[in-house]
Structure 1
Amino acid sequence: MSTLTETTRPLIDEAAIAGRIYLDGEWVTGGGGAVDSLAPATGEVIATVGLASPVDVARAAASAALAQKTWAATPAGERAAVLRRAGQLWEQHADEIAGWNIREVGAIPPFAGFALHVTAAECYEASALPTAPQGAVLSSSEPRLSLAQQVPVGVVGVISPFNVPLILGIRAVAPALALGNAVLLKPDPRTVMTGGVAMVRIFEEAGLPAGVLQLVPGGAEVGEAIVTDENVRVIAFTGSTRAGRIVGELAGRHLKRAHLELGGNSAFLVRADADVDQAVNLATWGSFLHQGQICMTVGRHIVHESLFDEYVAKLAAKADGLVVGDPAAGQVHMGPLIDEVQRDRVHTLVQDAVAQGATLAAGGTYDGLFYRPTVLANTPRHAAAYDDEVFGPVASVVSYATDDEAVELAADTHYGLSLGIVSRDALAALDLAQRIPTGIVHINDQTVNDEATAPFGGVGSSGTGSRHGGPEANIAAFTETRWITLRREPGHYPL
C-alpha cells in the first residue's frame, strides 16, 4: 500500500500536536479546548485533538489573507513542486495515515488504501494547475487588447465531513492551494487526525509556507465563523443537505460563493436483460462499502419485476455473508458506524420501514456500532429508509414493470447525485439515464466511483453541481475572472 520504509520517520508526533490547532505555521492551544478522538470500533481514546474558537478563526483568516499574497506571487513552478511533493509524501506515509483512517474513521484497510491513492492523485492533478492556462484573449469591437484573467480568490474555507475525510478535504484543499489561494481547513471534530492533522503535516513537510494552510477544527460555531469572516471569499463545503442549506444561506447573505457537495439517495436501476449475479455484485459494493457512509451509496434498488425475487434473495445472501467487525483487528468487509447517534438513526429508519410494510430480508440488527448490512424488500416509497439518505448499510429494493415506471421511480427524489444502470444494452441504459436528473451516471457500474480527473457534484438537494475534479471545474471554483483591456493610446469619449 505504501513506499514507507523503516528509516522514514513518523509523520505525526502525537505529543507535539496533542490538544493543539495549527495557526501561522505553529501548533498552538485552541480557544475551543480539546477533545478525545475515539476509535468507533472499540471506544478507546486514540488521540487528543485541539478545537478552535471563533476568535481563532478570525486570527487564522487575517493571517492567511496576508500569507496568500506572497503565495500567489510565488512562481508557478514552485507552487507545482509543493503539490507534487505532497503527493509523494501521501504515498511515503501511507501506512501511518491509513492506520489513523482505520482506527479513527472505521475504514477497512482496502478502503483506507483507496482513499490515500485518490488523495495523492488529487495532489498530482493539482500540481498541473499552476502552469495551466489562466485566461483567454477576447475579441473586442474597440482598438484594444481584451483579456480574461483567472486570479486567486484569496482565502478559501474548506469544511469537510467525517466519513471520507482525506478525499473530501484534499479535493478542495489541493486545487485551492495550487491556484494561489490560502486555506482554512475545518475537519469534523470526530476525525481531526485523519482529515486535519495528517493533511497539515503533509503540506508542512512539502514546503508550504507558514500561514497558507490553517487548521481550525470545531463545531457549528467555528463553521459559521469561517463562512462569515470577511477575509474568506469562497466556501467549499461537503456534508449533509440540512447543514449545506444553512451554509449556502449564510454565504449568500455575505455575498460569497459556496460550493456545496451534499447528500444523496442514489438509484441503482436493474433492467430486465441484466445478469442478476453481476448486478448483485455491483449492488453489494454500492450499498455496503464503508458501512454505507458515502454520499454516493446506493439507497434505492429499482429492479425489473421479472428479476425481483431472485435479486432480493441473492442480495440478502450476500449481506448475510459479509463479516462486520473491527477493521484494525483483522480482515472484515465492514467496520463500525461513526457513533451511537448515527447507529440509532439507521436502526430507527429500518424499524419504521418494516412497520410500514417493508420485508426485512437481511440484517436489521447491531452489536455496539457494528450494524449488519440490511436488505429491505418492497419498501414503501414514503418510508424514510427509501425516500431519504440513510447514511448506513441499508438497501431498499422495489420492483418496476416498464422503462417509464423505472424512470419515474428513479427520478422521484429531491436528491440528484449518482445513478447506476445495469443492462446488456448500454445505449438503451444511456437513453434512460438522460431522463433521470443526476450529476453522475455509471452504466453497468454501481454509484460509488471517484477519480481526481473527473467532475464531481450533484443537482437538486445533492448540491450546487460539479465543483471538483478536472482543471476546468477547479479553476472555475477557486479563481475569479478579471476583464483586462490595453490600448496603445488613451481612448477618446464624446463628453
Structure 2
Amino acid sequence: MSFLGHEWDGRIFSDGWNTGSGGTRTTVAPATGEVLATVGVATADDVAKATDSALRAQRDWAASPFGERAAILRRAGQLFVEHADEINEWLMRESGATAGFATFQVAAGAAEECWEAAALASASYGEMLRTNQDRLSFSRQVPVGVVGVIAPFNAPVLLAVRALAPALALGNAVILKPDPRTSVCGGVAFARIFEEAGLPTGLLHVLPGDAAAGAAIVDHPRIPVIAFTGSTRAGRAIARAAADRLKRVHLELGGNSALIVTDDVDLDKAVSVGAFGSYNNAGQICMASSRHLVDARIADDYTRLMAEHAARLTVGDTMDPATMVGPIIDTHQRDAVHAIVTNSVAAGATLAEGGTYDGLFYRPTVLGNVPLTAPAYHQEIFGPVVPIVPFHSLDEAADLAAETEYGLSLAILTRDVTKALRLADRIPSGAVHINDQTVNDEPNTPFGGVGDSGNGSRHGGTRANLEAFTETQWVTVRGELPDYPF
C-alpha cells in the first residue's frame, strides 16, 4: 500500500488536503514525458489563509515542551527511512534524479536533517548577561513565528528540509512552496511525513504554485523570515521585495564553483572526482564543479581522460539502474545549457566530448582550453558540462578562481595540503573542500555562499539555525519595583 496515498490528488496541504484556488496542474517525468500526477495550485489567497492558520497554531507549538517537538522530528526522520523507496521513486521520476542522488536526499539527507533538528529543540538558547543594576539580565532566542520556505526543483527534498526541519524544531510554523515541477516529491512527501509523525494541524502548509505564490509569501507582513534556494536572479528579486518589509532573507543562490587541479595529483582519480562534481544530477546542482582550473602541464592529459570518462557514462531514464546521468528538467533549461556550449565553442573552446542531446538527455560534455571570454567560463551552466581552463602558476589559479561574482564552493586537488590552505585564503567562498569535489553538504555544518551565491552560511549546525529561525530577545527581572525620580 502506498504511503503517500492519493488523498492529495489535485489538492494543496493547508489544514488538511483542500482545493487550491489556483486550480490544478500536472507533473511530468522529464525522462519520458509521462504525466505522473495532478497536483493543486496555490495562489496569494491560499498564502493568506495559510498564514492566518499558521499564526494561530504556532503559539501553542512554541509553548510546547521541547521534548514534544523533538519527538515529532525524530519520528519524521524515521518515516523518511521507512518510506525511502517510495519517495526515492518519486524523486527519480519527477525530478530526474538518479537512484544514488535520490538516496542521498532522503535516507542520507532528510532523515539526518530531521534528527539533527530534533537535537536542536533542546539546545541551549540564551546566555546570562552582566548588569550594573539590581536585576537579572539575560538574552534568549525565541521563535520568529512563521517561516516561508521556497525550494527549487533540482534537489527538492534536501533543499527544503534543511530549512523546514530546524524551523519547526525551534517552535515556528512553516509555509513551504515547492517548485511546481516537483510538487509531489518536494511537497506532498513532506505533508504526509509530518502528518504521520503527529505534527499538529496548521504548523505546516504545502502550497505548490508559480512565482506569484512565492511573491505572496515574501510580501506577507506576518512571515518575517524567508528561506529561499534558487537562481541569483530570483534571489535578488526576493531580497528587494523583502527589504520593503524589513524581513530577514536566507538566500542560497547560484554558483560558478572552481575545481583547481595541481600537477602533483593522481590524474585518474582527479578526473573521477571532477566528473562527479560536474555530472552528478546532470550538473543541475548549485555547488557543481563549474570551472576546472588545471595546471597547464597536465591540462591536455586531464582533458583527454575526462573526455574518455564522459564518453563511458550512461545517459538515460533514471529508473534504469545503469543510468549515471539523467535528464535535464525541461526544454528551457536544456536549451540554455546547449547555448552556453555552442557559444563557448564559437568563442574558441575545444569540444572534446559531448555537446549533443536527445530530447532532455544531454550528453556529458567536455570543453578544453576554454577562453576567459566564453560563457562556459563566466556563467553558471547548470548542466553536465566540464569547462577546462589551464593555468601556469598558483597565483594565476587563485586569480582565475576568484574572478567571478559567485562564491559558493571551492575545491582544490593536490598532495600539498598546506599549499591548498594558503591558496584557499585568497579565494572568497562559502565552502572549501581540499582533495574533494565541490558538491558537499552535511546536516550539522553551516552552509551558504558569498557574493552572488547568497548572503552567507544560513543553514546547518546549531548556531546557524538558531540565528536563522529565531529572534534574540533581551530580558531583565527585578525582585521589587524600582524607585524612579518622577
TM over 0.5: yes
**1:37 correspondence with 2:12:** no
Shift of 1:143: 2.1
For each residue in 1:247-281, what CA deviation from the matched residue of structure 2 results, as whole angstroms up to 9, or x when unmatched? 11111111110000000010000112222112111
2:4 to 6, 9, 12: 12
Give the Cα separation in 1 of the matches to 2:278 and 2:371: 18
- Are 2:318 and 1:318 equivalent residues in the alignment? no
Q: 1:236-315, aligned counterparts within 5 Å?
A: 236-315=227-306
One-letter code aligned to 1:112? A
- Equivalent-residue separation in structure 2 for 1:238 and 1:491 (angstroms): 49
What are the ranges of 5 or more consecutive residues in structure 2 without an aligned counterpart? none
Q: Which runs of 5+ in 1 are unaligned?
A: 1-8
1:68 aligns with 58
Query: Take 1:491 and 1:374, find their aligned partners in 2: how far apart are those partners?
Result: 74
1:284-336 per-position Cα deviation (integer Å, ceiling 9, x unaligned) = 10000000000000010001111111100001110111000001134211110
Partner of 1:210: 201
Equivalent position to 1:434, from 422, 425, 433? 425
Report if aligned partners of 2:14, 2:202 keep a CA contact under 8 Å in 1: yes
Task: Name the SS for the 2:18 alignment partner.
Answer: strand
- Counterparts of 1:140 and 1:377 in 2: how far apart (Å)? 64
Partner of residue 163 from structure 1, selected from 139, 145, 154? 154
Contact 2:347 2:373 in 1 (8 A): no
SS of the residue corresponding to residue 466 of structure 1 reads strand
User: What letter is aligned with 1:298?
Assistant: S
Q: Report the TM-score when normalising by structure 2.
A: 0.99
Aligned residue number for residue 71 of structure 2: 81
The one-letter code sitting in structure 2 at the alignment partner of 1:10 is S
2:123 aligned with 1:112? no
**Structure 1 position 139, deviation (Å):** 1.2
State the alpha-carbon separation in 1 of the partners of residues 3 and 375 from structure 2. Answer: 43
Tell me which residue corresponds to 2:86: 96
Partner of 1:48, secondary structure, is strand
CA apart distance, 1:10: 2.1
Aligned residue identity for 2:248:
R
Distance 2:3 2:175 in 1: 21
SS in 1 for 2:26: strand
Partner Cα separation in structure 2 for residue 241 and residue 206 of structure 1: 35
Q: Distance in 2 between matches of 1:232 and 1:105?
A: 28
Q: 2:443 aligns with which of 433, 436, 452?
A: 452
Give the conservation status (yes or no) of the 8 Å contact 2:41–2:208.
yes
In the TM superposition, what is the alpha-carbon distance from 1:348 to its structure 2 partner? 0.7
Tell me the residue number matched to 1:469.
460
1:494 is displaced (CA, Å) by 4.3
Q: Which residue number corresponds to residue 393 of structure 2?
A: 402
Cα shift at 1:491? 3.0
Equivalent residue for 1:368, pick from 359, 363, 387: 359
Q: 1:492: how far off? A: 3.5
Deviation per CA, 1:414-473, whole angstroms, max 9, x where unpaired? Answer: 000000001100111011001100000000000001111111100000001111111111
- 2:44 paired residue number: 54
2-side partners of 1:23 and 1:119: how far apart? 21
How large is the RMSD of aligned CA atoms in angstroms? 0.9
Determine whether 1:347 maps to 2:338. Answer: yes
CA distance in 2, matches of 1:89, 1:45: 27
1:147 aligns with 2:129: no
- Note the C-alpha offset of 1:33: 1.0
1:185 aligned residue (162, 176, 188): 176
Task: Identify the match of residue 232 of structure 1 among 219, 223, 228.
Answer: 223
Q: In 2, distance between residues paired with 1:140 and 1:434?
A: 39
Given that residues 95 and 153 in structure 2 are in contact (C-alpha distance below 8 angstroms), is that contact kept between their aligned partners in structure 1? Answer: yes
Q: Who is 1:418 aligned against? A: 409
Measure the CA separation in 1 of the matches of 2:294 and 2:61: 53
> Is the CA contact 2:179–2:208 (under 8 Å) kept in the aligned structure 1?
yes
Q: CA deviation at 1:374?
A: 0.6
